[in-house]
């Protein structure tokens, strides 16, 4: 699914480009991350057609699709896809909609780090996996901690790039909770790089996205990064 990009809403600029012009990073269209990616009435191939596609791929690599070990493979693959890509049918906004006001005036950021996830690269449909770290500074109300982990899972259970995944998580928290700022960092290993192609096992990719007070205040970015790395 291609990202729909539009200019960021107006406000204080956060920097200048190489030619001296003010700029702000693009943001995703809210329609992309506030609702399920696939509507219930969206036309899709049947399960039988999906299983036949698996058989075609098995035959393409040179397998005998009639041998005993592969008889149930098409069914198993389709069932695995139903699980691995369930995020297309889940609504990110609904996960974040229930908040709590019992904060006793808490005015610092909330950080959840080391949330493990597995996603799939949209270029090769191969897994990438790692950890997500999310911080936000609430305005009066907070969201249940497990909801942020659930948000990560929803977006991760779709075909992704790590950059897109990072941007979607930050945009959803920013749009639904409307905090004073959001910080997201993702670190992951991509099997499309480690087990094929260049074959660099253990290479990690890091992406980050900051909004509000995290974007405008380098000291808050540094504190966020310090708390992620603390204790490691």
Q: Give the pLDDT of residue 8.
A: 36
Residue 110 is assigned to a structural domain of this protein: yes
d(CA 168, CA 174): 10
* Among 56, 84, 112, residue at a domain's last position: 84
- Decide if 88 contacts 81 (C-beta within 8 A): no
Are residues 59 and 116 both part of a single domain? no
Q: Of 120, 157, 164, 190, which is the active-site residue?
A: 190
Contact partners, residue 149, CB within 8 Å, separation at least 6? 112, 115
Are residues 105 and 78 both part of a single domain? no
Could you tell me the CA-to-CA distances from 52 to 45, 78, 164 in Å, in that order?
11, 10, 31
d(CA 232, CA 123): 32
Q: How many residues are listed for the chain in this entry?
A: 232
Q: Give the pLDDT of residue 6.
A: 37
Residue 181 is assigned to a structural domain of this protein: yes
Are residues 117 and 156 both part of a single domain? yes
Q: Give the pLDDT of residue 16.
A: 54
Q: Give the pLDDT of residue 56.
A: 98
Are residues 152 and 62 both part of a single domain? no
Could you tell me the CA-to-CA distances from 211 to 101, 141, 152 in Å, in that order?
22, 18, 17
Q: In which domain, by residue range, is 196 found?
A: 99-229
Are residues 72 and 106 both part of a single domain? no
Residue 203 is assigned to a structural domain of this protein: yes
Are residues 52 and 160 both part of a single domain? no
**170: helix, coil or strand?**
helix
Is residue 63 flagged as an active site residue?
no
* Among 59, 84, 109, residue at a domain's last position: 84
Structure pTM?
0.85
Is residue 124 flagged as an active site residue?
yes
Q: Give the pLDDT of residue 200.
A: 86
**184: helix, coil or strand?**
strand
| 15's tokens | 């920097």
Are residues 106 and 220 both part of a single domain? yes
Residue 210 is assigned to a structural domain of this protein: yes
Are residues 55 and 115 both part of a single domain? no
| 66's tokens | 């009639």
Q: Of 79, 123, 140, 163, which is the active-site residue?
A: 123
Burial of 64 (0-12, 13-18, 19+ CB in 10 A): exposed
Q: Based on the structure, what is the number of domains in the chain?
A: 2
Is residue 120 flagged as an active site residue?
no
Report the DSSP beta bridge partners of residue 143. 99
Residue 22 is assigned to a structural domain of this protein: no
Are residues 141 and 198 both part of a single domain? yes
129: domain CATH number is: 3.30.1130.10
Burial of 7 (0-12, 13-18, 19+ CB in 10 A): exposed
Q: Give the pLDDT of residue 107.
A: 87
Is residue 91 flagged as an active site residue?
no
CA angle 203, 133, 218 (to 5 degrees): 95
Q: Of 94, 122, 187, 189, which is the active-site residue?
A: 122
* Low-confidence residues in the chain, pLDDT < 50: 1-14, 17, 23
- Decide if 196 contacts 118 (C-beta within 8 A): no
Are residues 103 and 65 both part of a single domain? no
Are residues 192 and 157 both part of a single domain? yes
- 125-173 pLDDT, tens digit each: 999 999 999 999 999 889 999 999 999 999 999 999 999 999 999 999 9
d(CA 30, CA 200): 36
């Amino acid at each position: 699914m291609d990202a729909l990009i539009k200019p960021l809403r107006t406000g204080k600029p956060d920097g200048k480009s190489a030619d001296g012009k003010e700029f702000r990073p693009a943001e995703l269209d809210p329609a992309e991350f506030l609702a399920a990616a696939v509507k219930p009435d969206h036309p899709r191939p049947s399960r039988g057609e999906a299983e036949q596609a698996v058989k075609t791929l098995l035959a393409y690599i040179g397998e005998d699709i009639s041998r005993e070990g592969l008889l149930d493979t098409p069914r198993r693959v389709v069932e695995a896809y139903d699980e691995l890509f369930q995020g297309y049918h889940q609504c990110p906004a609904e996960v974040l909609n229930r908040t709590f006001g019992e904060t006793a005036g808490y005015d610092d950021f909330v950080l959840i780090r080391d949330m493990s996830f597995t996603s799939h690269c949209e270029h090769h449909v191969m897994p990438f996996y790692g950890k997500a770290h999310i911080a936000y500074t609430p305005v009066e109300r907070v969201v249940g901690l497990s909801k942020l982990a659930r948000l990560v899972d929803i977006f991760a259970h779709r075909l992704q790039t790590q950059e897109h995944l990072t941007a979607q998580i930050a945009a959803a928290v920013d749009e639904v909770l409307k905090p004073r700022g959001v910080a997201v960092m993702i670190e992951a290993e991509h099997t499309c790089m480690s087990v094929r192609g260049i074959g660099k096992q253990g290479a990690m990719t890091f992406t980050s996205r900051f909004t509000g007070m995290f974007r405008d205040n380098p000291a808050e970015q540094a504190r966020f990064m310090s708390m992620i790395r603390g204790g490691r």
